[in-house]
Chain A
């Protein structure tokens, strides 16, 4: 059964259930969109270099069941080193035993979607499903059959003391797993939060994770958002993060793709007010046959906003990386400053990079630049180091670390930087 057929049959099952959940209408509409648009193919310009057809044929199962106990999960890499609030999902379902809550402020909420829908209906209804572009086939697929996810709410003027670690574990020990987590993050006026999304996988079977994040950041608020992809093995991952920001907001977003057989990150910023700052950074280090695709879109809809984007990649073996950055400066979004860079180092002759930095500008008083480079390690610094008695291997490591440092320094959590450095060490 291919993916489309599976989604169709699963939805039918859901539709015939006696007890439907509160999302029925929403799911049904999304399912119709999915039926109409299907799974994107390479004929779709946004998916030109990213082929889903192989994944579609694998055949997955949706299953909450996991025989793993808490200890095993912790071992799998739940990032305990970072002192943080924790919420953990396994195969798309909440795993309450591992939740940690350190905040004293009672008005800050972190729970799962199903509960939020009941207990915080007003906030939930205002934001849920309001920002996501549903026409994208995989988004519609998520909306139709989303499993569960986190609901994070920081009320006006409040500030989270600790980062929130949102861990998603795929347990593919028993079978091929399909999971569709759905997260909603609402940061109200003048509030602040740090969220780390952490993806890991265990087991030898294949898995497909199709995540949707909706993030709303109201006036004068700020958000630090990290996404750490460390799912080993035959794991496929698609992520769509839609961020809507109102005036005077600061967002720092870092995407680290350290593992995963097939990873596609879609990041969409919508600047809905003046004086917004959006910073998007990313690092990817694929090896073997791994495939990484970073798609981003920054919509400068209002004047006086600033965005800075920098994605860096180190490619080994037969890996393939795609970068597609789009900056849209809308009519009347004057005094926009937008920067975009993509830099790649190819370490092997079999690696491939396809990059497409795009600018679409409809206002005249703007400063926008973009750049892309693809190359190898510079010979001169290499020679410098070698002539000082540093072995070739050491020298290469030093230079690559320096290359990656550009992104590492954007991370404001020291433990996370340390984890990143260890991963780089391991990979290179």
Chain B
């Protein structure tokens, strides 16, 4: 590698995490550690009904019996679950009628993040449910949504106001027995978003949540539940950041999507948690369970994710294609730098007849980072005429990075048609040459090439997010050449 290239990589590597500020707000926290009392404490704080507490306790007891998984393609220091604060809320009343009543300090934080609620409200027409540490601060556009019958609120609120829906669907896609982190989440989840789109309604705006871990030693365990009733449509956006801290923080969320007949859910994530420093010290462990079910015929679930942050990203947003003619999609860009690790992918479970799925995954690894695609496409015996197309491409930048692919394909039906393609290569020297020849600088050229490489996925993002995602990509990778 030539000298200037090394310099540029150094620059990129030393680029500071620009969302790493801490907001000084008085917090209402639970004591460190995890036991039944803490679970009861969280439940009591939330003023939850008995059935919810029961559910949490069941999950907690189950979790105690489970073992942490160890099949993944990376190592992380053992997490001490007794050293985490499971509940942290800004100390103030949160039943607000308008944005004016929100603590100005908080609003400033969101402004720094570039998601000023006011601005968003005025300019973009996006309804934002901001989750600060664990509690939903303010939810915009509630009224407008209400008119259409759309329910968009914090899940703790939904437990009180729409207990029937929550009871029916919570844990129906990701049961607490599913995996170690899902069980943990089920026991201690503090808040999250709840969305219900009634029959035949096309949600008038894009719904959005912004997560931020602020307090020290806290874990974030949010829970998202989205239900799209027959013939409805919703597009949901999720973004995340966290301040810089030396120790690792755990983020173990659970997202459940339910699409009934002819409904469509589009779920987009831009994840930019703090990735840790150059040596891999600190950073977020992003261990998330995301799964959607196409319950009825012709339903559609589409996951789009841009993963640029976190020390370790470990998640597989999945689709269960139960309804006949239902469709599942997964579009992913995962960028890792320095000592980051991403082990991500999807599962497409074909159960219904004529179900279709499409997977497009783009991995970019730079520095000493490792990027893995791990996915399962399963066609059940009765899934006649199932169709899957999978494409995963990896790009390597620097000779110490790694890219890995672990696809699992299981087919039990002879009318199924499946295709899987994967490629790995480095940034093309000829492409860079072509650009420099035309007077385009190295950094810009790389940004162009990487953006082109990811275009297929970025195109899936809603406008506002696509702009942010492109910026994120440029920030993480500008100037790195392999």
- By a beta-carbon cutoff of 8 Å, the part of chain A in contact with chain B is 45, 49, 331-332, 334, 344, 346-349, 351-376
Contact A334 B399 (CB under 8 A): yes
Taking the complex as formed, is B193 at the interface, i.e. its CB lies under 8 A from any CB of chain A?
A: no
Q: A355-B420, A356-B408 are in contact. List 7 more A-B contacts (CB 8 A).
A: A45-B71, A331-B399, A331-B400, A348-B414, A354-B411, A363-B399, A365-B396
A332, A357, A361, A375, most chain B CB atoms within 10 A: A361
Chain A CB within 8 A of B416 CB: yes
The complex places the Cα of A400 from the Cα of B56 at a distance, in Å, of 56
Size bracket of the B interface = 35 or more
- Across the interface, do A359 and B424 meet the contact criterion of CB distance under 8 Å? yes
User: In the assembly, what is the distance between CA of A48 and CA of B421, in Å?
Assistant: 22
- B16 CB–A CB distance under 8 Å: no
Residue of B nearest to A344 (CB): B411
The 10 tightest CB contacts between A and B, nearest first, are: A346-B414, A364-B396, A372-B420, A359-B405, A368-B424, A375-B417, A369-B423, A374-B418, A364-B482, A360-B404
- Which B residues are CB-close (under 8 A) to A358? 404-407
Select which of B399, B402, B413, B424 is within 8 A of A369 by beta carbon: B424
Which of B408, B409, B417 has the largest count of A CB atoms less than 10 A from its CB? B409
| Assembled-state Cα–Cα distance A49/B410 (Å) | 10
Give chain B's interface residues, CB within 8 Å of chain A.
Answer: 71, 381, 394, 396-426, 482
Contacts of B398 in A (CB 8 A): 364
Evaluate whether A361 and B421 lie within 8 angstroms (CB atoms) in the complex, with A346-B411, A376-B415 already known.
no
A201→B480 CA distance, assembly (Å)? 59
Nearest CB in chain A: distance from B443 CB, A: 18
Assembly CA distance A375 to B387 (angstroms): 9
Decide if the interface of chain A is mainly helix, strand, loop or mixed: strand
Tell me the smallest distance from the CB of A379 to a CB of chain B, in Å. Answer: 11
Cβ–Cβ contact B422 & A373, under 8 A: no
Supposing A359-B405, A365-B426 touch, asked if A376 and B418 sit within 8 A by C-beta, the answer is: no
Instruction: Give Cα A332–Cα B398 distance, bound, in whole angstroms.
Output: 11
| Cβ B420 vs Cβ A371 within 8 A | yes
Cβ-closest chain B residue relative to A364: B396
Sample 22 A-B pairs with CB under 8 A, ordered by A number.
A346-B414, A351-B414, A352-B410, A353-B409, A354-B409, A354-B411, A355-B408, A356-B408, A359-B405, A360-B405, A364-B399, A365-B399, A365-B482, A370-B421, A372-B418, A372-B420, A374-B411, A374-B416, A374-B418, A375-B416, A376-B414, A376-B417
Determine whether the beta carbon of B413 is less than 8 Å from that of A356: no
Docked Cα-Cα span, A374 to B394, in Å, equals 23
Q: Do residues A370 and B422 form an inter-chain contact, with CB atoms below 8 A?
A: yes
| Contact residues in A for B381 (Cβ distance below 8 Å) | 349
Q: Given that A351-B414, A352-B411, A352-B412 are known contacts, is A359 also in contact with B399, CB under 8 Å in the complex? A: no
**Residue of chain B at shortest CB distance from A358:** B406
Q: Which residues of B contact A351 (CB under 8 A)?
A: 414
A364-B421 in contact (CB<8A)? no
Shortest distance in angstroms between B316's beta carbon and chain A's nearest beta carbon?
Answer: 15
What is the distance, in angstroms, from A169's C-beta to the closest C-beta of chain B? 35
Enumerate chain A residues within 8 angstroms of B415, measured Cβ to Cβ. 349, 376
Cβ B421 vs Cβ A369 within 8 A: yes
In the complex, what's the smallest C-beta–C-beta distance from A267 to chain B, in angstroms? 19
The CA-CA distance from A376 to B379 in the complex, in Å, is 14
Q: A337 → chain B, closest Cβ, in Å?
A: 10
Residues in B with CB closer than 8 Å to A332 are 399
Contact of A355 with B409 at beta-carbon distance under 8 Å, contacts A373-B419, A376-B415 already known: yes
Instruction: For the complex, give the distance between the alpha carbons of A331 and B416 in Å.
Output: 38
B366 and chain A: residue at smallest CB distance:
A364
Residues of B contacting A360 in the complex (Cβ-Cβ under 8 angstroms)? 402, 404-405
B420 A361 Cβ-Cβ under 8 A: no
Q: Evaluate contact between A361 and B403: CB separation under 8 angstroms.
A: yes
Which residue of chain B has its CB nearest to the CB of A322?
B410
CA distance A23 to B381 in the complex (A): 50
* Chain A, residue nearest B417 (CB): A375
| The residue from B414, B419, B425 contacting A371, defined by CB atoms under 8 A apart | B419
In the bound complex, how far is the Cα of B244 from the Cα of A81, in angstroms? 73
Taken together as a complex, chains A and B put the C-alpha atoms of A359 and B396 apart, in Å, by 13
